[in-house]
């Protein structure tokens, strides 16, 4: 068992480790945090379509980690990113393979012509249904995997933090409705809830540092007592399970 001082020091050191892009390998590849598999594969859904098109947009590319693994890419491939620290990381990774990375600040005003893309993909990033419809060519596809509004709320409850309900509506049916209101048609749709298992309290701290919107006022100092309770629970049970929520839509213009 850690003493309070030893546990506090361990947790503080976890917050000092740099995080870039949307790369969780520090805790995922070491199996400190493990997600149960979804009932679909986002990569498998998009890969064949990528091979058949000449123009592709990856919305919210993060540090470009995922897009770079999908090579070879269409000759006209673009990526957007709205989180400023990720932009230079994405450019360093993607520009050498011919992908132009564009920093955006407004989902409602994308710097692309009407009817430009044959395929728009989006993994866990916000979007404007109207803008997606505008930039897609007729008969082309928008494929998105989204983080649902019920995602990770157990973390808030375990830490005694406020649960923000403004995204509670964000689920498959509402997202499909928004897209179809623009005239697009959802030809594929799936939704899944599954556990993410976390095996040590340091991984909890690292994860919360990487997703600051989950508990905006999170610090080790402020939440040390509930973090210690999580530590004791993991010591007793071996892990904690956090509910994750995802949905997938394939929409055609």
- Give residue-wise pLDDT tens across range 57-93: 999 999 999 999 999 999 999 999 998 989 999 999 9
pLDDT of residue 184: 98
Contact 228, 170 (CB under 8 A): no
Cα-to-chain-centroid distance, residue 31: 19
pLDDT digits (tens, 9 = 90+) for 39-50: 999 999 999 999
pLDDT of residue 23: 63
Greater confidence (188 vs 12) lies with 188
Greater confidence (27 vs 158) lies with 158
Q: What values do phi and psi take at 173, rounded to 5? A: -65, -40
Rounded alpha-carbon distances, angstroms, from residue 43 to 69, 81, 122, 127, 252? 10, 19, 11, 19, 18
pLDDT of residue 153: 94
Confidence label for 213 from pLDDT (cuts 50, 70 and 90): confident
Q: What values do phi and psi take at 206, rounded to 5? A: -60, -45
CATH class of 4-252: alpha beta
SS3 189: strand
Record the pTM.
Answer: 0.88
Question: Angle 131-133-138 (CA atoms, 0-180°, nearest 5)?
Answer: 145
Cα-to-chain-centroid distance, residue 221: 27
pLDDT of residue 76: 98
Give the C-alpha separation, 155 to 235, whole Å. Answer: 17
* Residue 18 pLDDT > 70: no
Mean pLDDT, the chain, whole residue set: 92
Give the C-alpha separation, 176 to 253, whole Å. Answer: 13
pLDDT of residue 104: 97
| Total residues belonging to the chain | 253
Establish how many alpha carbons lie within 13 A of residue 195's alpha carbon, considering only the half-sphere containing its beta carbon: 6
Rounded alpha-carbon distances, angstroms, from residue 103 to 28, 46, 135? 28, 23, 17
């Amino acid at each position: 068992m850690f003493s309070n001082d030893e546990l506090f020091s361990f947790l503080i050191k976890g917050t000092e480790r740099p995080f870039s892009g949307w790369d969780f390998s520090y805790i995922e590849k070491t199996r400190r945090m493990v997600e149960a598999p979804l009932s679909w594969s986002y990569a498998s859904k998009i890969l064949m379509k990528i091979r058949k098109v000449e123009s592709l947009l990856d919305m919210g590319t993060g540090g470009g980690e995922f897009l770079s693994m999908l090579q070879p890419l269409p000759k006209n491939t673009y990526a957007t990113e709205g989180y400023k620290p990720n932009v230079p990381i994405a450019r360093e990774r993607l520009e050498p393979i011919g992908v132009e990375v564009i920093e955006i600040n407004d989902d409602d005003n994308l710097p692309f012509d009407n009817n430009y893309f044959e395929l728009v993909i989006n993994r866990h990033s916000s979007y404007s249904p109207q803008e997606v419809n505008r930039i897609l060519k007729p008969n082309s596809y928008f494929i998105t995997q989204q983080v649902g509004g019920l995602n990770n709320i157990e973390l808030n409850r375990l830490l005694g933090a406020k649960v923000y309900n403004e995204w509670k509506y964000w689920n498959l049916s509402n997202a499909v409705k928004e897209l179809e209101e623009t005239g697009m048609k959802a030809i594929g749709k799936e939704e899944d809830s599954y556990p993410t298992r976390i095996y040590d309290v340091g991984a909890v701290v690292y994860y919360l540092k990487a997703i600051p919107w989950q508990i905006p006022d999170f610090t080790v100092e402020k939440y040390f007592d509930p973090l210690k309770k999580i530590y004791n629970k993991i010591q007793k049970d071996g892990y904690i399970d956090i509910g994750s929520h995802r949905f997938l839509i394939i929409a055609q213009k």
